[in-house]
Structure 1
């Protein structure tokens, strides 16, 4: 086999090009990454920020909680049938790697693997389901690998763990503020000044997980293969507060169903502590790369993520049965996701132009995880990256991506009440990265 002249600037573009996959499925933002373990210098520092700009437009939104002839229907009140769903977001990463002798490499890193930012606003026809949602995460990881000679290259065993924090909030319209004065007049109450909003706030929990993997590399041919499994993460106590102070307590008297009236009397007008549970997915990722000609590198990856673990996350009253009363064990609100498993496939090439400049291009397909509800359809993303190496110890990288989000529709299920369509939309991203090695 012909030996290929390939430098770290070229091999590093694998991570650079792959990082421009801007809209992965489920709640994925950064995911997990142990590529620093393969760095060919004893010490590495890596810092990056990717700024993602999704452009998903909702259209033909319909409030299906009540018939359109009902005066509380948001369509009949003139709420918009269109909305901008996602907000832009930043994805930061910090990592460091150190070699311990000739056989052991260890790394620590900080990332934000999961997240969601959706803000269609308070005046669209789906506002009873959601006016705003935010999910955030913080991940602190540590991994090590042990390598030994095997044939023409080196075999590597990888293991590690991570500690995670998640949190967020959800806001929705309970009663449109336009109808509150009239509702109050029916029972001789002043409902003016109320927002009509309910808010699930302060959601927070922490947990941990582990990873195990293997790798094989032949450095002189820039050949590398790795297979890494990351465990699922169970959150048993996602605690928060259901803030219904924007809804007048006396509005419960207008409910004809006695069971619902008793429940609403318990939660309207007050803050109620709530709790929920969820399991974030495990994943398995295969990565491959190899030199194909002098100063040319080909790479690819396939990742499976077990997003079908997340169907619906219900929040119930926290506390004793006597404290919760009629709300005990009842789902007061929920995050209805109904995901299917995610698959992400990436392929690309990198090229070294000279001792200072390298470039790369990638194509990524991500299978949409939404099923009956939601707008996470299949996406196709093209990424372009460049690396500048002014000295042997410093490398600067920039990358950009442009992707297509395919069309589809969302329908009511469980506690959701809105149907809507979405067409072919676009997503873009910009990334900057600094690597220092010695």
Structure 2
């Protein structure tokens, strides 16, 4: 059992200490793998030489021999500006004045680490652990701008540690399962008013975290009907969090608060087909049940509702196709395309998360230095579709001020690198 210590440490410490947050589809972070980053996550629930597929499908651990660990370091570089055409204080019928109508760049660069470890106990049984940040978001408009009552800054931070086991039932069929232990923290800031009503508006901050952790499950199966073909399916369950924190308005005394939120489940279905000894085709379909992310009341200690978080998201989807080619025994290249349907549209989009449907374009490379050491590199450029902010009396987050305008200059670059060791 002492041989398992290196991979357990490698798989958990970096994420717990350094997890950051990033702008992503809604605020789920798919960027958990350098290998699959290079293919826009095509085939991510099938088995490769990377351990990272265990995040989506724990049964893929049966493909790895001995004791192995993998650390993934990803950098997410988002950009986007909200340029309002209209900002009106509806009760007075007058425009917001004295502040810029542009948010400035709301994107915040982020560092996202992940870790994985596996141990092949015998020919049938494999054990493993992963450490990830499955949810994250940080956006930060300028402090003073016409949309400040809807967003001054937003931050979601999470850490998820999942011990897993996988069993090879037959030579062609494997199953796996794991227990998710998840911590989450939420911090939302906004202004209490806008000029000319309030020349210098204080900030209201809502902050909460789940000190007791949320629990969930992950299960998966891998089927190889014949040599060179893989079919994989993975499921990550909902995780409920009981947040406790405080609401602070300006210099007033903090109000203790609590709220229950449920993070969505995800289903991933993938294939991998060997075209010849050097060339493979891969694909994935992913569904995330974001429509369960509706309206969450926030209570004080007396049980009274002090505010609500009316997200009202739609379900999210991703479809990806990719390929990889072995140039030599030591170098493999890959390429991928994807289209992602965001759970956010104009009916529920806010300056906190001006998300939209997007195209993915990715490329990657692996270098196998020795049997015990290899490296992965992945790059993605994301092209969001044109989108608008349109908060009016019919919008779930409406706060008495109508704001309308396009989200401009939006794009996201993602750089990822991984190190994999066999002990």
1:49 aligns with 2:78: no
C-alpha distance in structure 2 between counterparts of 1:146 and 1:96, whole Å? 16
Indicate whether 1:331 and 2:338 are aligned. Answer: no
Residues 162 and 195 of structure 1, relative CA distance in 2, 3 Å threshold: same
Relative to 1, partners in 2 of residues 1:180 and 1:26: Cα closer, same or farther, differing over 3 Å?
closer
Contact 2:169 2:175 in 1 (8 A): no
- 1 or 2, which has the higher helix percentage? 1
Contact 1:238/1:275 (8 A) holds in 2: yes
Please, which of 79, 97, 106 is the counterpart of residue 85 of structure 1? 106
Partner of 1:414: 396
Q: Compute the displacement of 1:204 (Å).
A: 3.5
Q: Is the 8 A contact 1:168 1:204 kept in 2?
A: no
For the 8 Å contact 1:212–1:228, the answer to whether it is kept is yes
1:225 is displaced (CA, Å) by: 1.5
Counterpart in 1 of 2:245?
240
Q: Which aligned pairs between 1:136-285 and structure 2 lie closer than 5 A?
A: 136-149=157-170, 153-176=171-194, 196-205=202-211, 206-217=213-224, 221=228, 223-235=229-241, 237-246=242-251, 269-285=252-268
Cα 1:178–1:67 shift into 2, 3 Å: closer
* 3-state SS of 1:293 partner: coil
Single out whichever of 82-91 and 153-162 deviates more from structure 2. 82-91
How far off its partner does 1:92 sit? 0.9
Match of 2:64 among 24, 35, 40: 40
Question: Which residue number corresponds to residue 36 of structure 2?
Answer: none
Relative to structure 1, the CA distance from residue 428 to residue 49 in structure 2 (aligned partners, 3 Å threshold; closer, same or farther) is same
Per-residue CA deviations over 1:276-301 (Å, capped at 9, x if unaligned) read 11111011111111210221111111
Please report how far the alpha carbon of residue 39 of structure 1 lies from its aligned counterpart in structure 2 after TM superposition. 3.4
Alpha-carbon contact 2:154-2:189 (below 8 Å) kept: yes
Unaligned runs of 5+ in 2: 1-21, 33-54
**For residues 293 and 208 of structure 1, what CA distance do their matches in structure 2 show?**
42
Corresponding residue of 2:10: none
Which one of the candidate residues 309, 317, 320 is aligned to 1:343?
317
Measure, in 2, the Cα distance between the counterparts of 1:386 and 1:69. 57
User: Where in structure 1 do 4 or more consecutive aligned residues deviate above 4 Å?
Assistant: 67-70, 176-181
TM superposition score normalised by structure 1: 0.78
Alpha carbons 2:348, 2:396 under 8 Å: kept: no
Q: Secondary structure at the match of 1:37?
A: helix
The structural deviation recorded for 1:343 is: 0.5
Give 1:63 deviation, angstroms.
3.4
Q: Give the match for residue 255 of structure 1.
A: none
Counterpart Cα distance in 1 of 2:201 and 2:421 = 52
Match of 1:300 in 2: 283
CA–CA distance in structure 2, aligned partners of residues 78 and 174 of structure 1: 15
Structure 1 equivalent of residue 274 of structure 2: 291
SS of the equivalent of 2:417 reads strand
Change (3 A) 1:331 1:427: same
Secondary structure in structure 2 of the residue aligned to 1:411:
strand
Q: Which has the larger displacement, 132-141 or 154-163?
A: 154-163
Match of 1:394 in 2: 373
Matched pairs, number? 366
Contact 2:23–2:139 at 8 Å: present in 1 too? no
Structure 1 or 2, whichever has the larger Rg, is: 1
TM-score by structure 2 length? Answer: 0.80
Separation of aligned partners in 2, 1:225 and 1:122: 49
CA distance in 2, matches of 1:198, 1:23: 22
**Distance in 2 (alpha carbons) for counterparts of 1:225 and 1:287:** 6
